[in-house]
């Protein structure tokens, strides 16, 4: 894992062409799990001066402290969920890589069934009742697991094992891109298997990722050969363009 410069609480919103700073988080951190949209989101876990268990929800203007995770952890990359009222967190790092998962119902976190393989710096995307978890480090992993609201089932692996990757989508359509190995490699998920598609222009790891149903994505910041402020957009026709954080 690339060592960060330090914990920060800075928040920026993207409007399709540029980034704007908005209100900071209450607890500065890095390597937490994030999900949601610009007006309703949740971020849980991460590392401040130690692993943290606290979670915060975003209402479009401010971050608000909410119920804590049962297990403090970091190295999550991404969390499944559509809004601040529903989320699923899986894997991460406590004193070692963990497999345990927790579900958020808008007021509290509940322990649910574990991943089959403990991993950290992985992607979990989808919803709290139908999620996809892939990649990670124990060491570098190509594992893909699907969550049906009750348990995790292993499916076909990524073509390129990696951690620190970006990803987005649902259980039947997802994208995986970047990471520590094959940093430019992008793969598309059709509900059964992964297929390689157009690469990133600039390979990177441990960036911020977002997108819609596996057909569009925004992946930015992170680490290339040095820390980066650039981002790339991926569209349904597999074309890429680069934007820069202002």
Nearest CA-CA partner of 31 in 43, 17, 21: 43
Whether residue 177 lies inside any domain: the answer is yes
How far apart are alpha carbons 58 and 97 in whole angstroms? 28
Whether residue 2 lies inside any domain: the answer is no
**CATH code, domain with 198:** 2.120.10.80
Contacts by 5-13, CB closer than 8 A, 24 or more apart = 5/227, 6/30, 7/46, 7/47, 7/48, 7/49, 11/58, 11/63, 12/245, 13/38
Query: Model pTM greater than 0.85?
Result: yes
In this structure, what DSSP letter does residue 200 have? Answer: P
Give the CA dihedral 125, 130, 136, 140, nearest 10 degrees: -130
How far apart are alpha carbons 50 and 103 in whole angstroms? 23
Joined tokens for residue 43: 């971020």
Q: Are 202 and 230 in contact (CB under 8 A)?
A: yes
Beta bridge partners of 166: 177
Give the CA dihedral 5, 8, 14, 18, nearest 10 degrees: -50
Over the chain (246 residues), the average pLDDT of each successive run of 10 is 69 84 94 91 94 96 97 93 95 96 97 98 95 95 97 98 92 92 86 92 78 68 71 61 36
How far apart are alpha carbons 95 and 74 in whole angstroms? 10
Domain of residue 26, residue span? 11-244
Nearest CA-CA partner of 72 in 98, 42, 106: 98
Whether residue 1 lies inside any domain: the answer is no
What is the structure's pLDDT at 213? 63
Whether residue 201 lies inside any domain: the answer is yes
Task: Count the domains in the chain.
Answer: 1
Whether residue 5 lies inside any domain: the answer is no
What is the structure's pLDDT at 245? 34
What is the structure's pLDDT at 220? 63
Residue 210: strand, helix, or coil: strand
Whether residue 16 lies inside any domain: the answer is yes
User: How does DSSP assign 62-106, residue by residue?
Assistant: -EEEEPPPSS--B-----EEEETTEEEEE--BSSSB---EEEE-S
How far apart are alpha carbons 148 and 101 in whole angstroms? 13
């Amino acid at each position: 894992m690339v060592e960060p410069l330090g914990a920060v609480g800075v928040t920026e919103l993207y409007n399709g062409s540029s980034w704007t700073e908005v209100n900071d988080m209450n607890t500065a951190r890095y390597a937490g799990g994030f999900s949601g949209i610009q007006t309703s989101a949740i971020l849980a876990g991460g590392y401040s001066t130690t692993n943290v268990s606290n979670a915060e929800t975003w209402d479009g203007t401010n971050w608000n402290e909410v119920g804590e995770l049962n297990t403090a952890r970091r190295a999550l990359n991404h969390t499944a969920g559509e809004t601040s009222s529903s989320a699923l967190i899986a894997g991460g790092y406590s004193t070692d890589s963990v497999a345990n998962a927790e579900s958020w119902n808008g007021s509290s976190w509940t322990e649910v069934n574990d991943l089959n393989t403990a991993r950290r710096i992985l992607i979990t995307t989808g919803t709290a009742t139908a999620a996809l978890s892939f990649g990670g480090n124990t060491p570098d992993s190509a594992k893909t697991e699907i969550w049906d609201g009750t348990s995790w089932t292993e499916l076909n692996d990524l073509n390129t094992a990696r951690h620190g990757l970006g990803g987005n989508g649902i259980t039947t359509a997802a994208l995986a891109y970047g990471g520590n190995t094959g940093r430019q490699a992008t793969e598309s998920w059709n509900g059964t298997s992964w297929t390689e598609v157009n690469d990133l222009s600039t390979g990177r790891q441990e960036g911020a990722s977002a997108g819609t149903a596996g057909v569009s994505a925004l992946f930015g910041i992170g680490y290339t050969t040095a820390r980066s402020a650039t981002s790339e957009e991926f569209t349904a026709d597999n074309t890429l363009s680069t934007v820069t954080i202002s």
